[in-house]
Structure 1
Amino acid sequence: MKDEKVVDQENSTRAVSIAHAHTDSGTDILSEAIGSVRIGHARACRVRGAGSWGIRFPAFAGSGFHILLRGSAWLITANGRPRALKAGDVVLSPFGAERGLSHAPCLLQNLPRVVPHDPGPAEVEILCGAYWLDHGEVHPFLRALPEVIAVSADHGRTSQLGALTNLLAVDMSDTRPGSRAARAALLDLLLTHVLRQWLEQNRDVERREIDDPAIAVALREIHTSPDKPWTVQQLGETVGMSRTAFTKRFTALVGKPPMTYLTSWRLSYGARLLRETKAPLASIARQVGYSTEFAFGAAFRREYGISPGRFRDRTQRDNPVAVNV
């Protein structure tokens, strides 16, 4: 079994490589990644503890975070060493890996899955939130990150990250109209700032795979023209590579074969259009590269397990932020 530091280093290298490859292709990787989880359900809650306490969070499809508002705690993972946390620290679980929080170092399997409840004065207060994906999968960039990321508000962006955590903490008790939309927007901003800070702290990570302008060009073509009837042969010819060489390089860097990535991008983009616009299904189908509404619907159901129409109704009901276009 690989050492935890080696695994984290490999994951960091891969994530930074993907980020730079997308940057070279003209793509905003953070917006793309956060847009992919935004189609899920945004949830948040408070955890309060005193004395001996602990909680285990099961693995799930999505991205979650924990903000230590007050006191101290230990972050517990399945394979890594316990990490000490202090007030102001933010823990991000990019792809929903199992993890836990406790008053003291321990084994993850020894923690209960019941939220601690102490009616008395709390020594520790933690704000927990997540985007739960009922369908689809977590974005490749998020999956390439370490299973947990811990950043501190003391690092450079104190006023920004600190202000966001304060706003989110206040919003948790807000029941006025618009609170759900505000909470989702705050979660977006929090995830953005945490990922930005992590990328800044890891900017010097070795980037063995990013010096590949051909893959950057291919990504740009996919992202800017998903409506084109791309094949692996056409993408390879566009960047001056053979089908076999292109497939090998693309898969090594991006983590998926070209056509698998293209399909995932088209459907993820389609899901965002369904959620954030009122464009007709036929129009969305054409924008994301499907000749008919039926073909788009069949592919969408295979990926998300739900029809585009039902998906739109559910997401716009749960997260009312759609706009007219």
Structure 2
Amino acid sequence: MDVISEAVEDLRIGQVYGRRAEVPATFAGRFEACDGVGFHVLLRGEGWLMSEDAAPMRMRAGDVAVVPHGAAHGFGPDPCALAALPPAPTGFQDAPPEPMPVDMICGIYRLERGGSIHPFLRSLPGLLLIASDARMAALAALLTEDLDRPREGMLVNQRALVDLVLVHALRLWHAEHRATDPAWDALTDPGIAAALREIHDSPEAPWTVDRLSRTAGMSRTAFTRRFTALVGEPPMAYLIGRRLHRGAQLLRETDAPLAAIARRVGYATEFAFAGAFRREFGVAPGRFRRLTEPLLLRDAG
């Protein structure tokens, strides 16, 4: 099971934004908690990363900071308490007339229309500091160029580049922490991993707790207890979430009729799917499809 791909695909039901920020060496700002995932790549300069749950971390040019589940965090020239930082400016900023000492690109996936962050991302610390490599430097350069020079195809290109930066950052983190921090504890248990693979490969199948527990080679009670402890929610709640997230992806990425999408994610009728979808995302499927039409990355951040 490719847990990084699964996690990033889940984020595509939201909006993806990216921007470049060139600021003075004295810049200090706090980014509030949000429903989503973000990253910062420091192109030039240095500073300190602050969070609520960890000691300040020194960030140097080339480093990447990843916020896997939207935790509040900050950046400044000196280590300090997160609460001591002023709110950071948001939205698109005009480029300064001359280069600034600190230069970074930022990317964020906002889940404003509901949905949830994958358990793999929720299992990570609130703020990751990752040393770059040549591939990350190349991806950052491509994204920076596209942010600076809007042109045909920028929407598709920037979304793809934001995906690639996040995927590569997560790969680097996993490679560095493989021995002490498995990609996701649920995947270290053979039985739970087997059940998760079945759910992800065939969410439309008529799964029950009994059937999943047999796949895991466990009793129903032991399976439910173990699955809930490792994944963070009971098996059927997780299954429903997978079905609805897949449905949201299909609504966003295809023009398939609602009835066809409902069948592809395991619902007998479009009405049953629509009711479950509204409970999860707060809007009807048709309205979700209209609201999540792609936006230009430079318009927000």
Question: Are residues 60 and 234 of structure 1, via their aligned partners in 2, closer, same or farther at CA, if it must alter by over 3 Å?
Answer: same
Selected match of 1:248 from 193, 202, 225? 225
Aligned equivalent of 2:283:
306
C-alpha distance in 1 between matches for 2:220 and 2:11: 32
* 1:161 and 2:136 aligned: yes
What's the offset of the Cα at 1:210? 4.8
Aligned equivalent of 2:192:
215
Does structure 1 conserve the Cα–Cα contact (< 8 Å) formed by 2:251 and 2:285?
yes
Does structure 2 conserve the Cα–Cα contact (< 8 Å) formed by 1:297 and 1:307?
yes
* 1:228 and 2:205 aligned: yes
Question: Are residues 317 and 81 of structure 1, via their aligned partners in 2, closer, same or farther at CA, if it must alter by over 3 Å?
Answer: closer
Q: What does 1:9-24 correspond to in 2, within 5 Å?
A: none
Please, what TM-score do these two structures have when normalized by structure 2?
0.90
- Offset from partner CA, 1:105-148 (integer Å, 9 cap, x none): 11111111143997665211121120100111111111111101
Question: Are residues 173 and 209 of structure 1, via their aligned partners in 2, closer, same or farther at CA, if it must alter by over 3 Å?
Answer: closer
- Offset from partner CA, 1:37-74 (integer Å, 9 cap, x none): 11111112222322422010000001001111111111
Question: Are residues 98 and 206 of structure 1, via their aligned partners in 2, closer, same or farther at CA, if it must alter by over 3 Å?
Answer: closer
Q: Which amino acid aligns with 1:138?
A: I
Q: Which amino acid aligns with 1:71?
A: G
Equivalent residues, number: 290
Selected match of 1:239 from 208, 211, 216? 216
Does structure 2 conserve the Cα–Cα contact (< 8 Å) formed by 1:181 and 1:319?
no
Selected match of 2:103 from 122, 125, 128? 125
Does structure 2 conserve the Cα–Cα contact (< 8 Å) formed by 1:50 and 1:121?
no
Aligned equivalent of 1:61:
35
Gaps (5+ residues) in structure 1? 1-26, 321-325
C-alpha distance in 1 between matches for 2:41 and 2:181: 29
- Offset from partner CA, 1:170-217 (integer Å, 9 cap, x none): 111222122122111100001110011111111111667655322122
Q: What does 1:1-325 correspond to in 2, within 5 Å?
A: 27-115=1-89, 122-134=100-112, 135-153=114-132, 158-205=133-180, 210-318=187-295
What's the offset of the Cα at 1:237? 2.8
- Offset from partner CA, 1:210-241 (integer Å, 9 cap, x none): 55322122112211221122221222133332
What's the offset of the Cα at 1:311? 1.6
Question: Are residues 317 and 161 of structure 1, via their aligned partners in 2, closer, same or farther at CA, if it must alter by over 3 Å?
Answer: closer
| SS at 1:318 equivalent | coil
Q: Which amino acid aligns with 1:258?
A: P
Please, what TM-score do these two structures have when normalized by structure 1?
0.84
Greater CA deviation, 40-49 or 299-308? 40-49
C-alpha distance in 2 between matches for 1:317 and 1:67: 23
What's the offset of the Cα at 1:302? 0.7
Question: Are residues 291 and 112 of structure 1, via their aligned partners in 2, closer, same or farther at CA, if it must alter by over 3 Å?
Answer: same
Gaps (5+ residues) in structure 2? none
C-alpha distance in 2 between matches for 1:206 and 1:62: 22
C-alpha distance in 2 between matches for 1:260 and 1:176: 43
Q: Which amino acid aligns with 1:145?
A: L
Q: State the identity as a percent.
A: 49
What's the offset of the Cα at 1:306? 1.4
C-alpha distance in 2 between matches for 1:77 and 1:295: 42
Does structure 1 conserve the Cα–Cα contact (< 8 Å) formed by 2:21 and 2:103?
yes
Greater CA deviation, 59-68 or 204-213? 204-213
C-alpha distance in 2 between matches for 1:205 and 1:306: 41
Stretches (4+) displaced over 6 A: 116-120
Q: Which amino acid aligns with 1:290?
A: Y
- Offset from partner CA, 1:239-288 (integer Å, 9 cap, x none): 33221111011112222210111011111111111112222211110111
Superposition RMSD on alpha carbons, in Å?
2.0
Q: Which amino acid aligns with 2:163?
A: D
Aligned equivalent of 1:9:
none
Greater CA deviation, 109-118 or 171-180? 109-118
C-alpha distance in 1 between matches for 2:139 and 2:98: 28
Does structure 2 conserve the Cα–Cα contact (< 8 Å) formed by 1:236 and 1:246?
yes
